[in-house]
Structure 1
Amino acid sequence: MLIDSHCHFDFEPFCDDPGYYLALSHQAGVEKIVIPAVGQRNWQAVRELAERFPGLYFGLGLHPLFSAEHDANALAQLESELAAEVGLREKKHSHCVAVGECGLDFAIADADQDQQISVFAAQLQLANRFELPVIMHCRKAFPELLRVLRQNTPIAGGVYHGFSGSYQQATQLIDLGIKIGVGGTITYRRANKTRNTIAALPLDALLLETDAPDMPVAGFQGEPNRPDRLVNVLHELAAIRTESEQIIKQVTSLTTAELFRIQV
């Protein structure tokens, strides 16, 4: 079994016919999907998908890319939503497995860096309060993200999704209990730095992801990415590492299930 640790399954084209795209995923062996929310506008959508279809799980968070959409009460509302989900989780009725997607994105034009840092730190604190892992996004802000993480280290761990950094950056994250999200970047032969880094990291520090419909894998540029193409990431990971594809599949699936407390 494979688990897509990061897929925006409530986005187009999936929201038009989720049953069809889930069938494609199951045929490829991708049986479980974690859907990170981006803000108040899709918290309910990800929850409803997870309630409707077995094997879907979600995170609730405030994505820095959509900072302009987060109103003044966003953090208070997130706290309330997470508290409700934790109450349901105790009764085995919640599919909420993380806080996220959250993080820092200083690549945005006129980014309010102080505001992003404040909101990110607050979400890390909520994750610790509710003992949930975090799903993190970062662009052009690694030193700042690392500093905030060290000040608010997630007690339940987390994942840095779509990793494309250096070996040193990866090990700094791993030392804080953060897993490394491996996606379509490694399917491009020109991405030597990322491929070499991912090849050298401990296997049990890696999660597989698609970031669908974003981050297309090689050979499908210009098309929406899909969760069934997680197998392309798996194949390429096996090609650049020493372990067999079966071992990589087993270890990454187990690591993902343990992080998000998903039964397998």
Structure 2
Amino acid sequence: MIDTHCHLDIIREQGQSIEETLEKSRIAGVDQLVQIGIDLPSSNEAVRISETYSTDALKISYSIGCHPTETHEFPNADQILDLAKSRMNDPKFAAIGEIGVDLYHDASTRSQQNDVLRKFLDFSSEYQLPVVIHSRDAFLDTYEALKEYKTKAFGVIHCFTYDYEAAKQFVDLGYYISFSGIVTFKSAVEIQEAAKKIPLESILIETDAPFLSPMPHRGKRNDSSHLPFVLEKMYSLRTEPNTEVEERIYKNSLKFTERKAYHHA
């Protein structure tokens, strides 16, 4: 399994060492994870974590980004992109992100969020890097931005929280849909419907650890060792054999981490 989205630095801040997290994750069957950058400090830290802790047994890739709720980081957008430019020859540099639009926390910054999103989409288009898209209560803003860059930008809608129709529209633009522990929640009926119906070749899985622990660990600190619970939920939702579901999601995840465009597949 590949955890396509986690935050080892935040897990560490919450009291569990990176070494312990990686050991637990490896035992659980995770052989690669993507450490996500959300601002300039965490993007620099993502590079350092990858260089320090990546092994043959558990490879750590990373992303470099500017999270839409980190509005204080928006003036640093050019520095974050300079960092990304300097890492282009690093095979462990997997993606730009997370970037996107989040109107749940503060809708007053909507125009700023949209401007920064397009700045990063411009960069990813120029350098053909996948993007990790954060979208919360902002389907239309997100979709319209990605539609502008159709065939130029590609990547993943991380921690998907919309319905099947939204998922289908993102898939039609050439994006993977990534399902987190939320898909295991009983209340997540619309998300589960999306996981059932979209093409298997469009699906990734993630933890977004330390957030969003899947059942039966809901409410507790998450880490990549809980990824099997997300995969098992996918087994229950899909009609394909379990081995096919596992192999296809793994291949999708490899393509993503190796900077290969879904819509070019």
Common fold: TM-score over 0.5: yes
Query: In structure 1, how many angstroms separate the alpha carbons of the residues matched to 2:81 and 2:185?
Result: 39
Secondary structure of the structure 1 residue equivalent to 2:45: helix
Equivalent position to 1:162, from 144, 159, 163 = 159
What displacement does 1:194 show?
A: 1.1
Is the contact between residue 61 and residue 93 of structure 2 (CA under 8 Å) also seen in structure 1?
yes
Match of 2:40 in 1: 40
Query: In structure 2, how many angstroms separate the alpha carbons of the residues matched to 1:109 and 1:81?
Result: 27
Give the aligned CA root-mean-square deviation in angstroms.
1.7
Match of 2:70 in 1: 66
Query: In structure 2, how many angstroms separate the alpha carbons of the residues matched to 1:217 and 1:25?
Result: 15
Unaligned ranges ≥5, structure 1: none
Unaligned ranges ≥5, structure 2: 261-265
Is 7-16 or 195-204 further displaced after alignment?
7-16
Is the contact between residue 64 and residue 105 of structure 1 (CA under 8 Å) also seen in structure 2?
yes
TM-score with structure 1 setting the length: 0.92
Is the contact between residue 212 and residue 219 of structure 2 (CA under 8 Å) also seen in structure 1?
no
Match of 1:185 in 2: 182
Query: In structure 1, how many angstroms separate the alpha carbons of the residues matched to 2:227 and 2:195?
Result: 16
Letter in 2 for 1:78: I
Is the contact between residue 124 and residue 153 of structure 1 (CA under 8 Å) also seen in structure 2?
no
What displacement does 1:96 show?
A: 1.1
Secondary structure of the structure 1 residue equivalent to 2:6: coil
Letter in 1 for 2:156: V
Is the contact between residue 187 and residue 236 of structure 1 (CA under 8 Å) also seen in structure 2?
yes
Runs of 4+ in 1 over 4 A off after TM superposition: none
Is the contact between residue 156 and residue 259 of structure 1 (CA under 8 Å) also seen in structure 2?
no
Secondary structure of the structure 1 residue equivalent to 2:10: coil
Query: In structure 2, how many angstroms separate the alpha carbons of the residues matched to 1:209 and 1:183?
Result: 5
What displacement does 1:53 show?
A: 1.8
Is the contact between residue 66 and residue 74 of structure 2 (CA under 8 Å) also seen in structure 1?
no
Letter in 1 for 2:99: C
Letter in 2 for 1:84: S
Equivalent position to 1:109, from 106, 130, 144 = 106
TM-score with structure 2 setting the length: 0.91
What displacement does 1:168 show?
A: 1.2
Please show how residues 26-175 of structure 1 align to structure 2 within 5 Å. 26-54=26-54, 55-67=59-71, 69-72=72-75, 74-86=76-88, 89=89, 93-109=90-106, 111-153=108-150, 155=152, 157-175=154-172
Write the deviation string for residues 178-211 of structure 1: whole angstroms up to 9, x where unpaired: 1001111111122111111211111010001000
What displacement does 1:71 show?
A: 4.9
Secondary structure of the structure 1 residue equivalent to 2:11: coil
Write the deviation string for residues 45-78 of structure 1: whole angstroms up to 9, x where unpaired: 11111011220011101001111x2152x12112
Is the contact between residue 134 and residue 154 of structure 1 (CA under 8 Å) also seen in structure 2?
no
Is the contact between residue 234 and residue 245 of structure 1 (CA under 8 Å) also seen in structure 2?
no
Is the contact between residue 124 and residue 154 of structure 1 (CA under 8 Å) also seen in structure 2?
no
Write the deviation string for residues 91-132 of structure 1: whole angstroms up to 9, x where unpaired: xx4421100000001112353111000000111111111210
Match of 2:219 in 1: 222
User: Cα 1:237–1:105, aligned 2, differ >3 Å: closer, same or farther?
Assistant: same
What displacement does 1:160 show?
A: 0.3
Asked if 1:9 corresponds to 2:8, the answer is yes
Letter in 1 for 2:142: L
User: Cα 1:245–1:130, aligned 2, differ >3 Å: closer, same or farther?
Assistant: same
Equivalent position to 2:200, from 203, 222, 237 = 203
Is the contact between residue 62 and residue 70 of structure 1 (CA under 8 Å) also seen in structure 2?
yes
Query: In structure 2, how many angstroms separate the alpha carbons of the residues matched to 1:154 and 1:61?
Result: 21
Letter in 1 for 2:10: F
Secondary structure of the structure 1 residue equivalent to 2:69: helix
What displacement does 1:16 show?
A: 4.7
